[in-house]
A and B are shown apart, each in its own frame.
Chain A
């Protein structure tokens, strides 16, 4: 069974631009969560989607958004990029809502210049 796939692996963007990151969960998994990892703030929860609905949201500005498609694939979007958005963005998939474990992808390394 393939694991969680995130694309692209690396991105370089300019301040003010927007970016879309993609996550394909493990086959059969319906819950997708997103996390931001930075050296200063560590791993922080962004949001969770289940059956195409956002179920939970972390403490991030509205520039961060996401969605989930009917095949459970998810995208997250960051608009008006700031230097501080440079981070490793990790996607995790779980079998169901309230699942007892999450499996992570390799992440997308976003650099904002």
Chain B
């Protein structure tokens, strides 16, 4: 069965410091991996995805994520955090088998960036 784990409920970072939001996954076959961000009372905004290719994926707003197959991880990173990055972040996975678009989401990690 497919699953996603985000081990931290909340991550606190000082503005200007690097940030990491962790994600590990379990899926049969090759994974399609995604990161989304959610601001209060809003839907999910797409940040980046890993399908195949380079393990380091660059996305929107300066975010990037590193795919590590041996550790089944897909951690989200940013070199220098902004207060405006404070939001709820979701990691999601979809198996590559089958033609369906069902995403399995992690529980979410709240990122708080302090001035």
Where chain A touches its partner, the secondary structure class is strand
Query: How many B residues touch the partner, as a band?
Result: 20 to 34
Interface residues on chain A, number (Cβ under 8 Å)? 29
Contact B45 A58 (CB under 8 A): no
Contact of A33 among B36, B90, B102, B106 (CB under 8 A): B102
Query: B14-56: which have CB < 8 Å to A?
Result: 32, 34, 36, 41-46, 49, 51
Identify which of B61-69, B70-78, B79-87, B93-101 touches chain A.
B93-101
Given contacts A43-B90, A104-B36, whether A97 and B43 have CB atoms under 8 Å apart is no
Q: Which residues of B contact A (CB under 8 A)?
A: 32, 34, 36, 41-46, 49, 51, 90, 92, 98-108
A sample of 30 inter-chain contacts (CB < 8 A) reads A4-B43, A6-B43, A33-B101, A33-B103, A42-B107, A43-B90, A45-B102, A45-B104, A48-B100, A48-B101, A55-B99, A55-B100, A56-B102, A58-B102, A90-B44, A92-B103, A94-B101, A97-B99, A97-B100, A98-B98, A100-B32, A100-B49, A100-B51, A102-B46, A102-B101, A103-B46, A104-B43, A104-B45, A104-B46, A106-B43
